[in-house]
Amino acid sequence: MRGVFLWALIVAVIAFIAGFWSFALNVREDAQAPPQADAIVALTGGSLERLTTGVRLLEEHKGERLLISGVNRVVTDEELLDNALGVDPELARCCIDLGRSAEDTLGNASETAAWAREHRYTNIILVTDDYHMPRSQAELELALPEAEIHPYPVRTRWTDPKVWRSDLSAATRLGAEYVKYLVIRGREALIGLGSNEAEPQPEDA
């Protein structure tokens, strides 16, 4: 029995390492030019480039409106839009919304889903850091299944193989993100299983 458990543990460790390796390589892929969409969502919490990228896509008319999700409540509109991002005041007034209710990735998804449904947006460009994109996209697709989500990841140093293969802090950051992503996928599988069990079974003829 102990031997079976040991082999199961070894297989699980190998599977985890292989999955992490694939995750780390995939998140380093270059962002593809996003299609024309209804709207753009940029998530706070990492590099400022997430937000500047969202603004740039708005200026390029890739979407008609931009939501910046997860803005700290103590940060004023002027501090963020004028001082940090240098957004044209007219563009800010007409086309940028600041979401302040989200405190984590799950909150970002909930906040974005409510905003998208309010405006009837079903085609959205999602902007966040590259290592954060798989989890963010998975959360948003769960919260807003009726919408098509187009990922537009922002490149970071953490996903550079030369960095995470030699820097323990970078590898730890990626590893933690991979574990969180697995948790979401596990939750998604349980939700799907529950939905299937809830469906009425056809009666025998």
Determine the average pLDDT of the residues in 45-49.
Answer: 88
> Does residue 109 register a pLDDT over 90?
yes
Determine the average pLDDT of the residues in 48-67.
Answer: 97
For a pLDDT cut of 70, what percent of the chain falls above it?
A: 93
The values of phi and psi at residue 146, to 5°, are -80, -5
Residue 194 binned pLDDT confidence (cut-offs 50, 70, 90): low
Residue 205's pLDDT is 40
Residue 197 binned pLDDT confidence (cut-offs 50, 70, 90): low
Determine the average pLDDT of the residues in 72-83.
Answer: 94
164-to-23, 117, 120 alpha-carbon distances in Å: 12, 39, 40
Residue 201's pLDDT is 55
What does the mean pLDDT of the chain come to?
91
Residue 77's pLDDT is 94
- 43 closest CA partner among 114, 121, 130, 119: 130
Supply the pTM of this predicted model. Answer: 0.87
pLDDT tens column, 9-21? 888 888 888 998 9
Q: Where are the domains of the chain?
A: 1-30, 32-156
Say which residue, 106 or 29, is predicted with more confidence.
106
Specify whether domain 32-156 bears CATH 3.40.50.620: yes
- 39 closest CA partner among 112, 111, 104: 112
> Does residue 200 register a pLDDT over 70?
no
For a pLDDT cut of 90, what percent of the chain falls above it?
A: 75
pLDDT tens column, 118-145? 999 999 999 999 999 999 999 999 999 9
